[in-house]
Structures are given as structure tokens and as C-alpha cells.
Amino acid sequence: MPYSVVSDHPECDGFAVIKTSDGKLIGCHRTEKQAQSQLAAINASEYDERSLPENYRPASSKDVPDGRNCANCDHYDDGYCSLWKANVKGSYYCNKWSPREARADREKRVDRALEILKNLLKP
Ligand code: SF4
């Protein structure tokens, strides 16, 4: 890839978007998510790369089930889709939508497993 994200650029304390060939600093960000967003934007504008699937569309489209949109998808976090690694609109949707409860269920299972481990390790 012509551009990449690194965490050890000498001119950036956080996460740097650089030109891979010569290490030129393009942007410096506090979080990796922000850097990945810039990277996706650069790729989209310079290379017309579409990281989102063709079926990414307004949630108001006829074929989108009621109540589903990016904003209530398990992969959505503050305008960013972790699945496609791209900025998305909360009012849009793609066929990989996953209910938020899935994340909550996973967190509950982890909590339960940690509780069991704690009980097993009690003297
Ligand atoms: S996976 Fe979820 S957040 Fe990502 S584009 Fe599809 S519906 Fe939106």
C-alpha cells in the first residue's frame, strides 16, 4: 500500500499516517482509529478504493429491514465501521449488519468466565 499507519514515527507522538515509500508524515493522530480513518479517506480519494461493500446503502432503502442501520450495528463505533475499516454514516446499512446485542452477549460471557476463574482461584 502506498500509505500506511505506524506508531513509531519520530515526528508523531501517536499514530502516524505515512507515505510508505519514504516515510513522509501525512498526518498524526491521537488514536489508531483516527489514523485508519484518514488512511481510508486517502485511499478512497486517491485510488478510488471503496472499502465499503457495494451493498452499503441508505438504511431507508426498500430492501433494508426495519430498524437496522449502521448506528445500531455491532461493528459501528462513533461513525467508524470496524468490519470494513471505513467511516460510515449512522443512517446507512450494509448486508453484514450485526445486532449490538452480540457484543453485549460476548461481554457477558467474558464477565461470567472471569467470575468462574476468580472463584476457582479463591484459596
Ligand atoms: S458492518 Fe455494520 S457498521 Fe459496517 S457498514 Fe455494515 S451495517 Fe454499517
Which atom number of ligand 1 is nearest to the Cα of residue 70? 8
Mutation to probe ligand 1, out of 93, 98, 100 (largest number of atoms < 8 A from CB): 93
- Note whether 56 and 42 are same-domain residues: no
- State in Å: Cα 24 to ligand 1 middle: 32
DSSP state of 10: T
Do residues 58 and 112 both lie within one domain? yes
Neighbour-count burial of 40, counting CB atoms closer than 10 A to its CB (0-12 exposed, 13-18 middle, 19+ buried): buried
pLDDT value for 49: 55
Same domain, 93 and 106: yes
Regarding whether 23 and 59 lie in a shared domain, the answer is no
Asked if residue 59 and residue 38 are part of one domain, the reply reads no
Quote the domain boundaries for residue 56.
52-123
pLDDT band, very low/low/confident/very high, at 82 (cuts 50, 70, 90): confident
Number of domains in the chain: 2
Q: Would the pTM count as exceeding 0.85? A: no
Q: Which atom of ligand 1 is nearest to the CA of 52?
A: 5
